Amino acid sequence: MQAQCCHRAALDRTAAFCDDCGQPLLRCPAFEECGGLLDSDGCCEECVAPELALDADGVRAARVGGALSLPLIVTNASRARRPLFVKGLWTREAGGDWRAVEVPWERLDAGTSAPIAVRAEALERAGVHQLEIALAVATRHQWREEVLAFTTGLALTVEGEEALTVQQNITYAADAPQTGATIYAPLRVQAAESPCAAPAAPKALPLTRASRLERALDLRGYDDGTVVPRTVRVVWRGFGDREAPPAGPIGGSEGLLTLGRSRARVGGGTNDARLLALAGPGDFSGIDEAASRGISRQHFGLCVENARLVLRVESDLGAWINGEQVPRGTSVLLRDGDRFSPIARTRGCLAVRASFESHHGVVETVTLTRF
Ligand SMILES: [Zn+2]
Ligand SMILES: [Zn+2]
């Protein structure tokens, strides 16, 4: 939850920091629609508000056997009225592997709900069966997509042939200090039919953000576990005085840096950084005018997406990333040491190298060096 002061400060689209508390203003990519700010884990609460519930009445009708179908209801409670996209649903019994559940639909408009049936296996023996459910949802804005995962838990108690109890089971996020703590909430659903019982209302299953699971399921961050937080500091090297912004977090109203031939904002233009071909390799004394004409006014977009640094090729002319040609409209994940160039090496001298400085798997600084 972001402070009121930051929400107020964010209304000035040019502000990069809150002038009250000094925190960087991390606007949601869809800020124009939602007015939301991201939390430190990259989640906009205005856009991303999934709710999961157990259709208790559906469970009552189910019979105890080797497996049980649990009818779940996913709701998009976005206050900003923005659609959510369900990227995946997984279940696992305590200590087991995650099993993907087929979700026959993807888009969920704000204020709407849709059902998903989840199978709980191996309920032959009496006793308590822990079932964890993970839900991954995405919010989209233009070409960008932010995927976030949440978990919840259920305890299924099989007491014999007839009586099945479903208990709501709140497990804290694995990262939280209360690891493994479990609370049994007062939800009790009997499988045994009771002729006079009124239909039970859907029971909410509280969702907890699961950042470790996001990395395990390869939804966010790099495959080695490294993450680029939205607060990462970007440092520019080898750019002229009025060609790149001062070092700092990615600001702007959409959290997107633009690079191209047009002048940089610090030089009265529209880009974050200006790209012009050098007269020779490492020669900052002059500009190769002819080669620079092969660079589009806005050639690249650069942002943090799903805790990764992502470069978007915006030019019809394509680009070169680590020496390979990449067409317009391609989003490429940038790793430490990767290089990109708006022009072929044979046509002029200009490339940018991204280097990461990280501590404990968190990238704190990205240095973009023009050479
Ligand atoms: Zn503030
Ligand atoms: Zn938002």
Q: At 336, which amino acid appears?
A: D
Judge contact between 11 and 103, C-beta under 8 A.
no
Residues 146-160 have a mean pLDDT of: 84
Q: Is pLDDT of 8 > 60? A: yes
- Residue 125's pLDDT band, with cuts at 50, 70 and 90, is low
Q: How far is the CA of 34 from the centre of ligand 1 (A)?
A: 18
Q: Give residues with Cβ within 8 angstroms of 219, minimum separation 6.
A: 87, 136, 147, 148, 149, 213, 306
Residues 74-83 have a mean pLDDT of: 96
Q: Is pLDDT of 160 > 80? A: no
Residue bearing the bigger pLDDT, 300 or 179: 300
Q: Is pLDDT of 199 > 70? A: no
pLDDT of residue 161: 56
pLDDT of residue 164: 59
pLDDT digits (tens, 9 = 90+) for 314-337: 999 999 999 999 999 999 999 999
Among the bound ligands, the one closest to the CA of 25: 1
Q: How far is the CA of 35 from the centre of ligand 2 (A)?
A: 6
DSSP 341-363: ESS-GGG-B--EEEEEEEETTEE
Q: How far is the CA of 192 from the centre of ligand 1 (A)?
A: 54
Q: How far is the CA of 261 from the centre of ligand 1 (A)?
A: 34
Q: How far is the CA of 107 from the centre of ligand 2 (A)?
A: 16
Using a 10 angstrom Cβ sphere, with 0-12 exposed, 13-18 middle and 19 or more buried, the burial of residue 204 is middle
- Residue 353's pLDDT band, with cuts at 50, 70 and 90, is very high
Among the bound ligands, the one closest to the CA of 17: 1
Q: Is 155 helix (H, G, I), strand (E, B) or coil?
A: strand
Q: How far is the CA of 230 from the centre of ligand 1 (A)?
A: 16
**Which of 249, 248, 302, 253 minimizes the C-alpha distance to 275?**
302
Q: Is pLDDT of 191 > 50? A: no
Q: What is the CATH number of domain 233-370?
A: 2.60.200.20
| β 203-205/50-54 pair status | antiparallel
Q: How far is the CA of 31 from the centre of ligand 2 (A)?
A: 6
Q: Is 50 helix (H, G, I), strand (E, B) or coil?
A: strand
Q: How far is the CA of 271 from the centre of ligand 1 (A)?
A: 26
Rounded-to-integer distance, Cα 370 and Cα 354, Å:
9
Rounded-to-integer distance, Cα 287 and Cα 261, Å:
12
Residue bearing the bigger pLDDT, 172 or 204: 204
Q: How far is the CA of 23 from the centre of ligand 1 (A)?
A: 6
Domain parsing of the chain, residue ranges: 4-34, 50-214, 233-370
pLDDT of residue 128: 78
Q: How far is the CA of 4 from the centre of ligand 2 (A)?
A: 16
Q: Is pLDDT of 174 > 80? A: no
Rounded (to 5) percent helix, strand, coil in the chain: 10, 45, 50
Among the bound ligands, the one closest to the CA of 253: 2
Please report which helix (H) or strand (E) contains residue 258, including its range. strand 256-260
Q: Is pLDDT of 120 > 80? A: no
pLDDT of residue 124: 63
pLDDT digits (tens, 9 = 90+) for 245-273: 999 999 887 899 999 999 999 999 999 99
Q: Is pLDDT of 371 > 90? A: no
Judge contact between 205 and 152, C-beta under 8 A.
yes
Q: How far is the CA of 45 from the centre of ligand 2 (A)?
A: 7
Q: How far is the CA of 17 from the centre of ligand 1 (A)?
A: 8
Among the bound ligands, the one closest to the CA of 9: 1
Q: Is pLDDT of 109 > 70? A: yes
Q: Which CATH architecture has domain 50-214?
A: Sandwich (2.60)
Residues 301, 304, 306, 309: what is their CA dihedral angle, to the nearest 10 degrees?
80
Residue bearing the bigger pLDDT, 367 or 13: 367
Residue 252's region, left for phi above 0, alpha for psi from -120 to 50, else beta, is left
Rounded-to-integer distance, Cα 99 and Cα 244, Å:
47
